């Protein structure tokens, strides 16, 4: 039986060593079982995180039942943390998880994009919840090829679980494109949310970077023939079907 043992919480420590020499650190804590963002008790949130404020057009939440947007409250501390960061300012990134440490010299917007993506996916947003299973194998600074692979395999795992429950799985990935179209709508909604906040542009461009990734991923899914390039890697699985 497949079991994952873990502590009560998972932590992701993001450290930004900026060109000026200053060091800024941000910790993300998740419930280890659900991978949901752990929030501080009694935390207050800024006005721009209220649900009706530039609400995403595909949001299923009702204003009468939810005062705040879960994804907006999930990244409000990150936006405040990065309010003085310029997009192309260079930084040495160090991201520490319980399993390993990632190091990269990059731009502030690139580092913040990874951090914002992590917080939004675990925030409890009903649209972005489809990304939450991928957080178990969170990969900062992933390439588009790596993201496509992880997105497809995560989706196929969901289809296998549906199959095991007697439901009809989507083995042809027909609905995966729609999922990422919804995610792009949320990304664009967040661009509208935070562009009026009086901060430097790194946080805003980090969201744009996430949306570009979602766009390229959707293009790859629409051109699924691109998977032919990796088919040879699976010859050990496919050789029997080729010989029959």
The rounded mean pLDDT for the chain is 88
**Widest distance between CA atoms in the chain:** 64
Q: What is the pLDDT of residue 63?
A: 96
- Residue stretches of the chain with pLDDT short of 70: 1-6, 198-200, 224-227, 240-244
CA distance 193 to 186: 10
Q: Got the DSSP string for 92-149?
A: EEEEE-SS-EEEEEEEHHHHHHHHHHHHHHTTT-TTGGGGGGGGGG--TT--HHHHHH
Query: 11 burial class (0-12, 13-18, 19+ CB within 10 angstroms)?
Result: middle
- Residue pair 171/159 in contact (Cβ under 8 Å)? The answer is yes
Q: What is the pLDDT of residue 243?
A: 56
Q: How many CA atoms lie within 13 A of 102 on its CB side?
A: 18
Q: What is the pLDDT of residue 1?
A: 36
The closest of 208, 223, 139 to 177, measured between CA atoms, is: 223
Q: What is the pLDDT of residue 240?
A: 66
Q: What is the pLDDT of residue 6?
A: 54
Q: What is the pLDDT of residue 224?
A: 62
What does the pLDDT look like over 147-200, one tens digit per residue?
888 999 999 999 999 999 999 999 988 899 899 999 999 999 988 888 877 666
CA distance 115 to 109: 10
CA distance 221 to 150: 12
């Amino acid at each position: 039986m497949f079991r994952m043992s873990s502590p009560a919480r998972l932590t992701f420590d993001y450290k930004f060593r900026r060109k000026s020499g200053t060091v800024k650190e941000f910790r993300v804590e998740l419930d280890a079982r659900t991978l949901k963002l752990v929030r501080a008790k009694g935390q207050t949130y800024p006005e721009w995180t209220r649900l009706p404020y530039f609400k995403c057009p595909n949001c299923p939440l009702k204003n009468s039942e939810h005062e705040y947007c879960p994804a907006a409250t999930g990244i409000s501390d990150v936006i405040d943390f990065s309010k003085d960061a310029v997009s192309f300012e260079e930084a040495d990134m160090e991201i520490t998880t319980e399993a390993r440490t990632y190091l990269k010299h990059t731009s502030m917007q690139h580092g913040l994009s990874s951090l914002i993506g992590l917080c939004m996916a675990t925030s409890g947003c009903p649209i972005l919840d489809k990304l939450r299973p991928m957080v178990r194998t969170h990969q900062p600074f992933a390439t588009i090829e790596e993201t496509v692979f992880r997105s497809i395999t995560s989706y196929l795992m969901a289809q296998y679980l549906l199959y095991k429950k007697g439901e009809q799985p989507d083995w042809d990935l027909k609905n995966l494109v729609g999922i990422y179209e919804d995610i792009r709508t949320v990304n664009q909604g967040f661009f509208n949310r935070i562009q009026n906040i009086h901060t430097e542009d790194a946080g805003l461009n980090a969201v744009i970077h996430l949306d570009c990734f979602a766009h390229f991923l959707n293009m790859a899914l629409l051109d699924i023939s691109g998977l032919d390039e990796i088919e040879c890697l699976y010859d050990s699985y496919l050789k029997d079907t080729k010989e029959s």
